[in-house]
Homo-oligomer: A and B are copies of this chain.
Amino acid sequence: MLKIQSLISVLALAGSVSVASAWEALPTKAPEPANNIGSAEKIALGQMLYHDPRLSSTGTVSCASCHNTMLGGEDNRPNSMGVNGQTGGRSAPTVWNSAFNKVQFWDGRAGSLEDQAAGPVTNPIEMGMKNWDDVVARLKTIEGYKTAFANAFGSDAITKENATKAIAAYERTLITPNSPYDKYVGGEKTALSEQQVRGMEKMAELGCTTCHSGAAFNGEGAFQKFPVTPHGFFEAKYHFSKDKGVAEVSKKPEDEHFFKVPTLRNVALTAPYFHNGSVETLDQAVKIMAKLQLGKEPAKQEIDDIVAFLNALTGEFPKQTMPILPPTAGSTFTK
């Protein structure tokens, strides 16, 4: 696990942090694992599965319910609502550009989109299926999926592995290029306002981009402690430290309060903020990050500049055809 905190400490001790940030545009194609190269058939199947509420016990919750592809890739809620109105403790990360995260989930417990896709389906408070055998059995009752899986993977191919591969292949197409920032980096100097350029430079100067690095501003798989320096007032108000992050999974004290660095792409669309979705506005989120992570208190104008820049990370959302899901014949969801 690549932890950034030690790096920051070293830099801080050195007195002055050199910030030769490499500003990168978002690639228009995501990296693919060798064992899951996308095809049109696989992506089409993945899009169907992603939007199919029949992957949940009640038939009411799909991947898209919480990671909404018609919005900023999540649900604008502090925590998501799974089957039977249940809620968990974390805020849904955006699916847009998630293909550029080297690890998935707030605690990074999934090493790939394929691994991630398997999780929520059988989480009792998310999609609530008992196990993947039941998911596969249900999919096999839907005639149209037999054809769609066969087209994507060869005959008799409805399995957990193929379902999650198809979903991941689809997710790798969910990229939002051509944000004002990308255009600016590509040479179109009028794409950002003067204020946005100030905000961009301020982010590097403050140290934001030490963690939020790379084309997706996500540290490319790095983890960071949050809060680095707990703060009584913010803690009382937002309860950031209630969630032990990576340590909830690893049970190791040294992992406590470490989280995957989230992308800043489309961050203006994905309120509320932080792992527990406790902060409603972007300016408050910036203020908190500066204080808790970097020990700084930027002036209001500086925060406004940064927020203006973050708004320039909103990309172009590709037009998608709405999937037509293969029908259920004569069955029902009663849970």
Chain A residues near B (Cβ < 8 Å): 51-54, 58-60, 65, 68-72, 75-78, 81, 83-86, 268-269, 271-272, 277, 280-282, 314, 317, 319-325, 327-334
Contacts and interface: CB of A to CB of B under 8 A. Distances in A.
Which of A280, A321, A322, A323: most chain B Cβ within 10 A?
A322
A238 B60 CA distance: 23
Given A60-B75, A271-B330, A281-B330, 9 more contacts: A54-B76, A59-B75, A60-B77, A76-B332, A77-B333, A81-B85, A269-B327, A282-B330, A320-B321
Contact of A334 (B54, B78, B83): B78
A302 B271 CA distance: 57
A327 B70 contact: no
Question: Would you list the 8 A-B pairs with minimal beta carbon distance, nearest first?
Answer: A85-B85, A84-B85, A281-B330, A269-B327, A272-B332, A320-B322, A322-B322, A271-B330
A322 B85 contact: no
List the number of copies, as a whole number.
2
Contacts of A65: 60
A329 B85 contact: no
B324 A269 contact: no
Contact of A324 (B52, B81, B317): B317
A328 B77 contact: no
Name the prevailing secondary structure of the A interface residues: loop
A280 B76 contact: no
19 contacts: A59-B75, A59-B77, A70-B323, A72-B327, A75-B333, A76-B332, A76-B333, A77-B333, A83-B85, A85-B86, A269-B328, A271-B330, A272-B330, A280-B330, A280-B332, A314-B327, A319-B321, A319-B322, A322-B322
A70 B330 CA distance: 17
A312 to B, nearest CB: 14
Nearest to A281: B330
Contacts of A329: 268-269, 271, 282
Which of A60, A333, A334: most chain B Cβ within 10 A?
A60
A327 B269 CA distance: 6
Contacts of A84: 81, 85
A70 B324 contact: yes
Contact of A321 (B86, B322, B325): B322
Given A81-B60, A332-B271, A325 B280 contact: no
Which of A81, A280, A321, A332: most chain B Cβ within 10 A?
A332
Nearest to A284: B330
A271 B78 contact: no
Nearest to A82: B85
A277 B332 contact: yes
